[in-house]
Amino acid sequence: MTGMTLKVLSPLHIGNGRELTPLDIYPGDGVVYVLDTGKLTADLINMGISLEEILHLLKNPPGDAYVWKGYIDELHLNPSDYALYALRIHGEPGRRSMQIKEFIKLNGRPYIPGSSVKGALRTAVLYKALKECGDSGTAMNVVSGIKNKRGQVERKTAELAREIGWSESLVDFYLAKLPQERTDGKHADDLLEAIVFGMESDRRSGVKYEPKRDPMRALIVRDSGAIGKKRLAVYHVDVIGNVQPIPIWVEALEPGTTAEIEVKVDTELLRLNSDYFNGVLWECLRDWGRPWEAFETFLWEAVEEFYTAVRKAETAEARKFGTKAAEVKRFYSSLEGHGGHVLRIGWGSGWLAMTIGVLLKENRRWEGVRRQLGLGQKPGGRGLSRDFPKTRRLAKGMPMGWVVLE
Amino acid sequence: MEGRDRGFYGKIIFTGKLKAETGLKIGAGRNVAEIGGVDSPVIRDPLTHYPYIPGSSLKGRLRSLFEIYVNSNREKYNINTTENFFNKNIGTKENPINIHVCPDYESALNCPVCRLFGASGDKSNFPSRVIVRDLHLTPEWKGRPLDELTEVKPEVSIDRITSKTNLRQFERVVAGTEFEFEIIYNVERLDQWEDDVRNILTAMALLEDSYLGGSGSRGYGKVKFEFESVEFKTPEYYRTGDEGQKVKIDGAKGKPVSEILKNFEELFSGVKSRLEAG
Ligand SMILES: [Zn+2]
């Protein structure tokens, strides 16, 4: 399964942390030009405009923030002469200003980072391992076998194993435990990932995550090749469920875009380190026979099962998309029975796809934990929303970031 | 006694380019990240500040890939199948890192891995027949501004319960960067050089399908070799400096590893007849 093709099914944005501002662009008719401001400034100066004036305007933009547009229109210049590249725009551009989240690029050309795809595969594997082998018995056995450097089981590790044993399932145990931990929400999953993927003895918390013991190490996903800039467009993103939405624009790959990406399982690495992997996932793979041989099948089944569950959960709550509900439903039914491996990556893919939310929501403890973690904060810190996830993002009526690997 | 059966029949020298097809992360091994800084910056030449690849990194990687290959093809290499091929733990008991090292000179001499890459066994050492020089940027890449040679890439990890994000920054050498490589093989045994050279090429081919440096599972470190020259320097050349005592393999220029392997017989026929002539 080395070379695969990733095809974009709905607008995909993967950010690089930067934004294009009104000082970088010229909003045209259905097109946004990203300007070569150096060339433009040089020409303006040649035409007799003082650099001081330009700098003054850039620092103190008038009511209309598109400073360059003023010059280009007044002097009847052709914006495409000054464009580094042009982006089609889906939805309305900002009338007086807009900030566009930039797509990640290498040497100026967009690409899909392997880490985005691998992260999505990992979530699916976590889901399937928990669903299939996350019973308290298996998890307790796995944890109780973790020894320290002197070959002994730490007191904390034994306690942890016992606690898991008393619960209904690993997820149930975890949701009972989380409220007792002080977590900033950025590491709420640490202990769970340790138990599922691979761990080492730890005095303080019983066990802690150890990447060397994680079979996912054998899954290699490389960055995609460069994608033509022509496939990028600007999308106005609708944020549904927010009272006063701040308008958001993103550079995103249009549906139909394809990229070549290498996805590979290093079976030999799995086989050679077979005795060394120790999480619930490895235990789960053992049920399938030789774990190193089962890994790949498990992976793709996980993708199928997890993203089908995400799709179903989203479809079931389609009414939360308000006036766009019908469109969203139509999009999701178009994914049904789609060939290849359908998954969701990138920005705006939402809590359900980025977490094991589908499993958490089924648990009676979840709502309490959610409140404890402060998820679903209302704007301005006015308490928590009753509905979680509260906001949903759509680009041109489509849930973002759905792709297929084939 | 060490050095028995060691002869010197010349050197085969491979040079060419190693191209990073994806970003390359060969870290300076600084483990503690500065707060707000970059995790594991790339390794640089202390004088010029250009990134480079230590020859030992490349050699170590070639060895470990070839070890795995040999282990999976034991019969072909006449390896005892009852013993564990990865016989030496260079890690700790809790954190084992198992590698293959022949324990003595005799077994190393008959082992495709150790006689190429060397073995420091418990009883005696077997010196490596392969030397890998540090890989520095090609002149073309040295002409570029330093800050265009590497990039700092943010990596986002997402908490799988809350969907909150953690951001870390990594430095890597940009995709496309080209380094010059030089690999030297010492011909010590007339009955082994051919297999040895094939094995070096096999290890190089294996590396192209694997990765060099860190975070390979995230797609870093895909590399490709392109040969510039393959030369055989006879002992006579080392005595006289006479260019006529070198055998140049003309067909190697610009070729990838797979081509050299495929046309091995033809390409190395000159070297062979020279060695057989004595
Ligand atoms: Zn050996």
The per-residue pLDDT for range B31-56, each reduced to its tens digit, is: 333 334 555 678 888 888 899 999 98
Rounded to the nearest angstrom, the gap between the alpha carbon of residue B14 and the centroid of all alpha carbons in its chain is 12
State both tokens at A36: 């070569």
The one-letter amino acid at B109: L
The answer to whether residue B228 scores a pLDDT higher than 70 is yes
Which residues of B are less than 8 Å from A268 in CB distance? Answer: 68, 72
Q: How does pLDDT run across B123-171, given as a tens digit for each residue?
A: 778 889 999 999 999 999 999 988 889 887 777 788 888 888 877 777 8
3-state SS of chain B is CCCCCCCCCCEEEEEEEEEECCCECCECCCCCCCCCCCECCECECCCCCCECECHHHHHHHHHHHHHHHHHHCCCCCCCCCCCCCCCEECCCCCCCCEECCCCCHHHHHCCCCHHHHCEECCCCEECCCEEECCEEECHHHHCCCHHHCEEEEEEEEECCCCCCEEEEEEEEECCCCEEEEEEEEECCCCCCHHHHHHHHHHHHHHHHCCCCCCCHHHCCCCEEEEEEEEEEECHHHHHHCCHHHEEEEHHHCCCCHHHHHHCHHHHCHHHHHHHHHC
The Cα–Cα gap between B103 and B120 comes to 7
Task: Count A/B contacts: CB-CB distance under 8 Å.
Answer: 100
pLDDT of residue B34: 35
The CA-atom distances, in angstroms, between A11 and each of A346, A399, A401 are 10, 8, 6
Q: What is the pLDDT of residue B95?
A: 65
- DSSP string across A55-123: HHHHHS--SS--HHHHHHHHTT--GGGGEEEEEEEESPPPSS---EEEEPEETTEE---HHHHHHHHHH
* Domain locations along chain B: 10-277
Name every chain B residue with its beta carbon within 8 A of the beta carbon of A310.
none
The CA B113 to ligand 1 mean position distance, Å, reads 5
Q: Which residues of B touch A (CB under 8 A)?
A: 22-23, 68, 71-72, 86, 92-96, 151, 153-166, 174-176, 210-211, 216-219, 222
Token code pair at residue A99: 């900030």
Q: What is the pLDDT of residue B32?
A: 35
CA-based nearest distance A387→chain B, Å = 15
pLDDT value for B30: 40
Q: Which amino acid is at B236?
A: E
CB contact under 8 A, A123 and B159: no
A140 in contact with B at a CB cutoff of 8 Å? no
Shortest CA gap A28–chain B (Å): 32
CA of B17 to the centre of ligand 1 (A): 29
pLDDT tens by residue, A16-45: 888 998 889 999 889 999 999 999 999 999
- CA atoms lying within 13 Å on the CB side of residue B242: 7
Q: Could you tell me which residues come within 8 angstroms of residue A200 by beta carbon, excluding any fewer than 6 positions away?
A: A146, A207, A208, A209, A210, A213, B94
Predicted local distance difference test score (pLDDT) of residue A244: 64
- Please give the structure tokens belonging to residue A134: 């996350």
Among A25-29, B202-206, B262-266, which is the least confidently predicted range? A25-29
Q: Which residue of B has its CA nearest to A175?
A: B161
Alpha carbon distance A356, A169 (integer Å): 14
Confidence of residue B79 (pLDDT cuts 50, 70, 90): confident
Q: In what helix (H) or strand (E) does residue A138 lie, and over which residues does it extend? A: helix A136-144
* Preferred mutation among B72, B151, B160, B168 to probe A, highest tally of A CBs within 10 A: B160
Which residue ranges in chain A fall short of pLDDT 70?
1, 243-245, 379-381
The interface predicted TM-score (ipTM) is 0.80
Which residues in B lie closer than 8 A to residue A222 (C-beta atoms)?
22, 219, 222
Rounded to two decimals, the pTM is: 0.78
Instruction: Name which of A127-141, A237-251, B77-91, B258-272 the model is least confident about.
Output: B77-91
| pLDDT tens-digit map of A316-354 | 989 888 899 999 999 999 999 889 999 999 998 888 889
**What is the mean pLDDT of the segment spanning B223-242?**
93
**CA A393 and chain centroid, separation:** 13
Q: Residue B211 — very low, low, confident or very high, per pLDDT cuts 50/70/90?
A: confident
pLDDT score of B267 more than 80: yes
Question: Please, are residues A153 and A220 in contact by the beta-carbon 8 Å criterion?
Answer: no
Which amino acid makes up residue B148?
E
